[in-house]
Structure 1
Amino acid sequence: MRLGDAVSPFDDGVAVTPSGEGRYRAEVDPRWNIGSAPNGGYLLAVAVRALRETLPHPDPVSVSGHFPGRVAAGPIDVEAVRVRSGGHHSTGTASLIQDGERRVLVTATFGDLGDADGPTIIQAERPEIPGPDACVRAIGSVAPMFLQQFDMRLTPESAGFAVGHRSGRGLMEGWVRFEDGREPDTLSLVLFAMFHLMEQPRWVPTIELTVHARGRPVPGWLQCRFQTRYVIGGYLEEDGEIWDETGALVALSRQLAKVRAEATPPPRGRLSERQEASTGR
């Protein structure tokens, strides 16, 4: 997606170039790192971008990724395989391969959410939170490079993590959009669903992530809610819900992650003085 004459960093970062039958070449961009490791949602988006070239349907309605190996910034190969194509859905698999090893494994089913029909039954309400202007923006040069790609606004109750104050609730809520003005779509929902805001004091690498796209988001902010209820033996789940500005639910996610007790956390962001006051710091 172009912004004027420029290509969005996200689209540039997930771009793939054909390199053979069912194979693509990509460049893992370090601006999407958290610490020294690429964000898992970003890596999934690279794989989904290749599958979008391989499959006939436009929207990744279900994506599941496993992360058996660590990916480094730099060139990477993507192997995409069409498993089945039908009238309403198509399914494929993709592998991110670096130095001859499969580092990320993805299975995805695509459809066309623009033509989705059938009953709609919603038995849960969108949470009421303050609007973006009433929330707290995480800013500052000390923020990880990954966070600098976004305009992230947290509810005052959630904002303490940005200055190192954790509530212990296992719940983070707020708003997010790309910093450069790129509008959300179903490809970027894969990234936003991994944009977890958990208050973990240590590195928490993802083992598995599943994302369900439920609709095409309208331009504007995305409201996000991420919650963890169980941490057992260092393993935790995180459930995500994402709504667009109209209040439509556009994505659901769940990931399994492992707290790495020996790891050093990435640097935290900071808040402006006025915003720090709103958190009670």
Structure 2
Amino acid sequence: MHIDSLFDQVKTQISQSQLSVEISVPKNWTQGRTLYGGISASLAFQAVRGLVDSSKKLITLNTNFIGPIEAEVPFTIKVEKLREGKNTTVVRGDIFQNEKIALRALATFGIDRESNIQIDSLSKHQMERPQKASFVPIIPKITPNFLGNFEMAKVLGGWPFTGSKQSALHGWMRFKQPPITFTDAHLVAIIDMWPPAVIQMLRWPAPASTMTWNLEFIHPHNTFKNDEWFAYQATTRQASSGYAHTEANVWDESGALVAISRQSIAVFA
């Protein structure tokens, strides 16, 4: 199922008076025994977006992955507006499946204001826009199903479980089948597509899962082409005792920084 169809199901159910959504997601969006984190977080975001006026832009999205979400099993997204002020609005989105909470997302939105503070981003990259996507090795029970919805072009780093000496991961990403209109929900969905930067260092397959994911969105808020390539560079800040902390920058095709991604990851090896 295309991502636009999933987002449309959420948009048709959510409103100021209807604060919950019931949906199920097919197996082409799975990652091991659970849904791909980017799709579950983006569905929660799409639900909370429906409670906020379009004049307020997304500033941050904080997601806690609490438990697995099964494919093809209905789950409920419940949303709550925690605070609405003149300048900002904070909304929570929770996913429940089998009467257990599986995900909690907290989104902050704000209006653009005139400001005397203007500091341009110094974060740049030197990667050339790809001419074609990289070949992704398909290994049964190892390569996640959700990758079939995206294209990637790796520039630096190794594939998972190849014993790489690198703990950084650089490359480009886009949707294989472009959405009709590229929205913030699509950006949330695509940013998480790269594997944790540290698992390339392992020589054998081992479980790893993101526990918390913090996304910060750069202003002014850009618009994107539906087939846009996004540049991605992730570094590992620290890893020890079964946990890793990574940070990534995301740029659009023009080289503008559009998001900063930070993840806390459990590694079972």
Separation in 1, partners of 2:58, 2:23: 19
Separation in 2, partners of 1:166, 1:148: 24
Q: Deviations over 1:228-258 (max 9, x none)?
A: 1311111111111100011111111101010
Separation in 1, partners of 2:162, 2:137: 17
Which amino acid in structure 2 is aligned with residue 50 of structure 1?
Answer: A
Separation in 2, partners of 1:251, 1:111: 16
The Cα of 1:59 is off from its aligned counterpart by 3.6
Aligned to 2:174: 177
The Cα of 1:190 is off from its aligned counterpart by 1.4
Q: Deviations over 1:16-37 (max 9, x none)?
A: 1349741111222321211222
Aligned to 1:225: 233
User: Matched residue of 2:74: which SS?
Assistant: strand
The Cα of 1:13 is off from its aligned counterpart by 2.9
Q: Deviations over 1:76-123 (max 9, x none)?
A: 1011001122333211111101111111111111235xx464343135
Q: Which of the numbers 119, 123, 130 marks the counterpart of 1:132? A: 130
Separation in 1, partners of 2:263, 2:45: 17
The Cα of 1:140 is off from its aligned counterpart by 5.6
TM-score normalized with structure 2 length: 0.83
Separation in 2, partners of 1:49, 1:234: 32
- 34 and 121 in structure 1: CA distance in 2 versus 1, 3 angstrom threshold: same
- 75 and 148 in structure 1: CA distance in 2 versus 1, 3 angstrom threshold: same
Which amino acid in structure 2 is aligned with residue 61 of structure 1?
Answer: I
- 56 and 123 in structure 1: CA distance in 2 versus 1, 3 angstrom threshold: closer
Q: Deviations over 1:49-97 (max 9, x none)?
A: 1101122246432111112221111211011001122333211111101
Moved more, 173-182 or 200-209: 200-209
Q: How does 1:63-102 map to 2 (within 5 A)?
A: 63-73=61-71, 74-102=73-101
Residues 1:211 and 2:215 aligned together: yes
Note if contact 1:228-1:239 (Cα within 8 Å) is conserved in structure 2: yes
Q: How does 1:1-281 map to 2 (within 5 A)?
A: 9-14=2-7, 15-16=9-10, 17-18=13-14, 21-57=18-54, 59-73=57-71, 74-111=73-110, 115=112, 117-118=114-115, 119-122=117-120, 124-133=122-131, 137-139=134-136, 142=139, 143-155=143-155, 157-158=156-157, 160-161=158-159, 165-182=162-179, 184-197=182-195, 198-200=197-199, 201=202, 202-214=206-218, 215-219=221-225, 220-261=228-269
Which amino acid in structure 2 is aligned with residue 247 of structure 1?
Answer: G
CA RMSD of aligned residues (A): 2.3
Q: Deviations over 1:182-208 (max 9, x none)?
A: 264322221223223325142211111
- The sequence identity of aligned pairs, in percent, is 23
Separation in 1, partners of 2:70, 2:114: 41
Moved more, 78-87 or 182-191: 182-191
Separation in 2, partners of 1:139, 1:161: 9
How many residues are paired up?
Answer: 248
Moved more, 118-127 or 35-44: 118-127
Question: Structure 1 regions of 5+ residues with no counterpart?
Answer: 1-7, 262-281
- 124 and 59 in structure 1: CA distance in 2 versus 1, 3 angstrom threshold: same
Separation in 2, partners of 1:176, 1:117: 33
Q: Deviations over 1:134-178 (max 9, x none)?
A: x760346544321111111111x32x316x534322111111100
Which amino acid in structure 1 is aligned with residue 222 of structure 2?
Answer: R
Question: Structure 2 regions of 5+ residues with no counterpart?
Answer: none
- 147 and 108 in structure 1: CA distance in 2 versus 1, 3 angstrom threshold: same
Which amino acid in structure 2 is aligned with residue 13 of structure 1?
Answer: L
- 124 and 21 in structure 1: CA distance in 2 versus 1, 3 angstrom threshold: same
Which amino acid in structure 2 is aligned with residue 42 of structure 1?
Answer: I
Separation in 2, partners of 1:250, 1:235: 27
- 138 and 222 in structure 1: CA distance in 2 versus 1, 3 angstrom threshold: same
Separation in 2, partners of 1:199, 1:145: 20
Note if contact 1:13-1:29 (Cα within 8 Å) is conserved in structure 2: no
